[in-house]
Structure 1
Amino acid sequence: MNRSARRRLTAAVVTAVAVTAGATACSSGGSSSAKGADSKTYTIWDPYPQFDKTSDWAKLLDGCGTEAGVKIERTAFDTSDLTNKALLAAQQGNSADVLIVDNPVVSTLAEAGVLTTTDDNKLDTSKVNPNLLAAGQSGGKTYGTPIGANTLALYYNKAVLKKAGVDVASVKDWKSLTAALAKVKEAGKKGITFSAIGTEEGSFQFLPWFWGSGAKLTALDSDQAVSALSLWKNWLGKGYAPNSVINNTQTTSWQEFASGDYAFAENGTWQLANAEKAGFQYGVIPVPAASGGDAAAPTGGEFVTVPVQKDSGRYATTQKLVSCLTNSQNLLETDTTLSYVAPTTEVQQKQVAANPKLKPWVAAVQAAKGRTSDDLGTKYPKISEQMWKAVQSALSGSASPKDALGSAQSAVK
């Protein structure tokens, strides 16, 4: 790592040290010994603590290690802890060989000098959908490859729409969606629920409407952005959406939809299992853009990355491990386990063939966009915070959509 990279890493670690209150760097299995290219143990850190050593995921990691001729030491962290651990480990020169992180974190680690590029580590990303790969790109370079993606779409209750006389095929843009919500309310049912809470979840749920208006994150106060926030504000004002959205998480929003009273709910692929248990027939359509077509929804999901090592001789084996984890067959199995849509068209087609209900989700993922795309990198968290604050201000009535977004843009600058 060069001097400028070390300076970036030191700056990035300051926050991590404060957050973890003096925690030390954590290495898999607790070993802190130097790792040479001839070592037969390779470390993998991931954000899946829900999977223990008997899980299919853990068995896949071990299998890839066997294929590469090495032993795998795996450590699982909560997502919020993993970034801090990765930064601290890099500062101490004890990074994991493979690091699997939430996609918005990639740019943070890359700008801190923690990660190698795909040019450095020879990872082949040629089959990955460009819109998904963009979440791991910064400064014209690519840092890793996605293991899968989830995103947002609109679930709908078939019985509620039928009672209201709404053909879901007619919902193609904001005007037709709002007209459908009006019919639902007239029929005595509830319109749409979503999460507008004052956290990243709120920004995540607002982004399809924001991007669907044609707005850009570099101009939060544009006319297009104001139209998106005005749409949500008008829905609350007319009773098409409940005031509870201001405090809803994606989980509580789903619980409202699961009551059976709502026509639509904005939520993600992770609710598919719950949808099957809801007790009513449902369908899924992509979030419509303002003037028609599918809006870009933000991508969730993780990237497989390769941290910088003191001994560059380790990269050849690490490349084998990552290639194994992300080959077509393993992606199919892993993304089925994680309820993710695969990052390649080839595997997406196999997923839909096995489960036709994934078809609208594949369409949504193909139209999706990384939150740190457009080379926003580490600027995104600040932009997102001002975005959710603006949404809260407008929906609570403390400011107009225009004024709320104007204040947000001024704060970002």
Structure 2
Amino acid sequence: MARRGTVRAGIAALALLPLALGACGGGSGGGTASGDPNTLRVLDYHNDEPNKTVWQGLLDDCGTEVGVSVERESVPGETLISKVLQQSSSRTLPDVLMLDNPDLQQIAATGALAPLGEYGASTEGYAQGVVDASTYEGELYGLQPVTNTIALFYNEEVFQAAGLQPPTTWDELKTTAQALTQGDQYGIAFSAMNSFEGTWQFLPFMWSNGGDERDIATPESEQALQLWVDLVSSGSASKSVVTWGQADVADQFKAGNAAMMVNGPWNFGSLAENPDLKYGIVPIPAPTAGGTVVSPFGGETWTVPRTGDEDKQAKAAEFVQCLNSDENMVAAAVGTNTVPTKPALTEQAVSQVPALASFAEQVPDLRSRTGELGEEWPDAATRIYTAVQNALVGGMSAADALRQAQDG
């Protein structure tokens, strides 16, 4: 899923540290704390269930396959980059580092990661957007086994009572949301907050209409933003969308305060807390009938830091490739409500978790947030959510909000 936009300063500071650890020599002079050639240190932020347990099992299995013991450290997501900073400074980087995929190119730009192509890693069969996100200046630095994205959740009982079908176009979305807005129930909920979560939720609307992050002051992006403005100004969506994160949106939908929501599969567990809630999931509506919906993909990529110990780096690369085996991709997807990054494997996951179907069908067209701008993506993401905020609560027209954000 989309992470909070709090890592930019940390990554900038990382670039100032001495990261050419490959010149430090091997063995105990490298970046590992123990120097034990038969132990790999792993750092990730999967500390919530079911992710914590599922990934522990996969890490242990790959440790056995590769012939190493695994020392795992899981930290809260918002502290991962600061942890990497500390470890880089003390030359104790882990042997295997998991990163949120939009962060990879900025970390790779510092020289902290080893190119996986040097160890024979292959991207055959992966969705192209996934490969793009893990590639920096033509070199592959990470492998991502599973992904997620967002779709449109709808309350089946509410729709049935109203005699409506889930919308497939923007016009249908507006009329359906208006028809289902009554009493304490809004037609739709989404996150338009001033953070990367707000940008993440807006991207399917902007991209599917031909908008582009290199220049957001275009008619295509304006039309997408106007759609959100219309939903809020008509009362079909709460004005509070500008402060809601995706977890808040899920809470509103779970409580029956919204007939539809834009959100992702990481909410399955939360929604299950209301046993009376019956919902369906469809792709986010396209601008016009038959249009292709282009959404961003989330999820984490696994990398090999430059620790100065070439033998352990090779072992770590083998370990990362194990995590990305077909079997482990499917196991991770089923266990964590995600989708394999190889489209050919999606049916295996969907057959076991049918609710993933609407997310899985988007995988071939999913787009990398860093695919065009690379390490400059955070600047564009900030411009996007700033424009959304200015249009929804700042009193600016969609066109003016986008132009000011682009020029600012």
Q: TM-score range by the shorter chain?
A: 0.7 to 0.9
Distance 1:76 1:188 in 2: 40
Q: Which residue of 2 aligns with 1:137?
A: 135
Aligned length: 386
Distance 1:282 1:377 in 2: 37
Question: Structure 1 residues 161, 410: closer, same or farther in 2, change over 3 A?
Answer: same
Question: Structure 1 residues 13, 355: closer, same or farther in 2, change over 3 A?
Answer: closer
Q: Which residue of 1 aligns with 2:21?
A: none
- Coordinate RMSD, CA, aligned: 2.7
Question: Structure 1 residues 198, 33: closer, same or farther in 2, change over 3 A?
Answer: closer
Distance 1:13 1:396 in 2: 31
Q: Deviations over 1:311-362 (max 9, x none)?
A: 3232331222112212122222222222211111233111111122221110
Letter in 2 for 1:205: Q
Question: Structure 1 residues 397, 55: closer, same or farther in 2, change over 3 A?
Answer: closer
SS in 1 for 2:73: strand
Structure 1 segment 215-230 matched on structure 2, within 5 A: 215-230=211-226
Letter in 2 for 1:291: T
TM-score by length of 2: 0.87
Q: Which residue of 2 aligns with 1:7?
A: none
Check whether the contact 1:44–1:73 (CA below 8 A) recurs between aligned residues.
Answer: yes
Q: Which residue of 1 aligns with 2:147?
A: 149
Question: Structure 1 residues 78, 54: closer, same or farther in 2, change over 3 A?
Answer: closer
TM-score by length of 1: 0.86
Q: Bigger CA drift: 191-200 or 350-359?
A: 350-359
Find the partner of 1:344 among 320, 335, 342: 342
Q: Deviations over 1:132-161 (max 9, x none)?
A: 222212223221111311111000112222
Find the partner of 2:356 among 344, 355, 358: 358
Distance 1:250 1:219 in 2: 26
Distance 2:371 2:317 in 1: 25
- Shift of residue 193 of structure 1? 0.6
Question: Structure 1 residues 53, 256: closer, same or farther in 2, change over 3 A?
Answer: closer
Q: Bigger CA drift: 135-144 or 264-273?
A: 135-144
Q: Which residue of 1 aligns with 2:306?
A: 308
Unaligned runs of 5+ in 1: 1-10, 19-30
SS in 2 for 1:273: helix
Q: Bigger CA drift: 33-42 or 145-154?
A: 33-42
Q: Deviations over 1:231-269 (max 9, x none)?
A: 100111111111111111111111111122422100111
- Shift of residue 222 of structure 1? 0.8
1:204 aligns with 2:208: no
Distance 1:261 1:32 in 2: 55
Check whether the contact 1:83–1:105 (CA below 8 A) recurs between aligned residues.
Answer: no
Find the partner of 1:167 among 162, 165, 168: 165
Q: Which residue of 1 aligns with 2:3?
A: none
Question: Structure 1 residues 214, 355: closer, same or farther in 2, change over 3 A?
Answer: same
Letter in 2 for 1:260: G
Distance 2:374 2:324 in 1: 24
Distance 1:155 1:101 in 2: 28
Q: Bigger CA drift: 39-48 or 338-347?
A: 338-347
Question: Structure 1 residues 273, 365: closer, same or farther in 2, change over 3 A?
Answer: farther
Distance 1:257 1:299 in 2: 22
Question: Structure 1 residues 124, 17: closer, same or farther in 2, change over 3 A?
Answer: closer
SS in 1 for 2:153: strand
- Shift of residue 62 of structure 1? 2.4
1:185 aligns with 2:170: no
- Shift of residue 224 of structure 1? 0.6
Check whether the contact 2:32–2:307 (CA below 8 A) recurs between aligned residues.
Answer: no
Distance 2:160 2:333 in 1: 33
Distance 2:163 2:53 in 1: 46
Letter in 2 for 1:309: T
Question: Structure 1 residues 51, 317: closer, same or farther in 2, change over 3 A?
Answer: farther
Find the partner of 1:262 among 258, 261, 264: 258
Check whether the contact 2:31–2:309 (CA below 8 A) recurs between aligned residues.
Answer: no
Question: Structure 1 residues 56, 361: closer, same or farther in 2, change over 3 A?
Answer: closer
Check whether the contact 2:31–2:307 (CA below 8 A) recurs between aligned residues.
Answer: no
Letter in 1 for 2:82: N
Distance 1:53 1:381 in 2: 26
Distance 1:248 1:259 in 2: 15
Letter in 2 for 1:162: Q
SS in 1 for 2:43: strand
Check whether the contact 1:153–1:267 (CA below 8 A) recurs between aligned residues.
Answer: yes
Distance 2:177 2:53 in 1: 43
1:388 aligns with 2:385: yes
Structure 1 segment 111-122 matched on structure 2, within 5 A: 111-122=109-120
Distance 1:192 1:13 in 2: 36
Q: Which residue of 2 aligns with 1:286?
A: 283
Check whether the contact 1:155–1:266 (CA below 8 A) recurs between aligned residues.
Answer: yes
Distance 2:170 2:292 in 1: 11
1:231 aligns with 2:227: yes
Check whether the contact 2:30–2:91 (CA below 8 A) recurs between aligned residues.
Answer: no
Q: Deviations over 1:21-63 (max 9, x none)?
A: xxxxxxxxxx988679981122111111236999342233223
Q: Which residue of 2 aligns with 1:406?
A: 403
Letter in 2 for 1:72: V
The answer to which structure, 1 or 2, has the higher relative contact order (CA under 8 A, 6+ apart) is 2
Check whether the contact 2:305–2:313 (CA below 8 A) recurs between aligned residues.
Answer: no
Distance 1:259 1:244 in 2: 16
Q: Bigger CA drift: 83-92 or 63-72?
A: 83-92
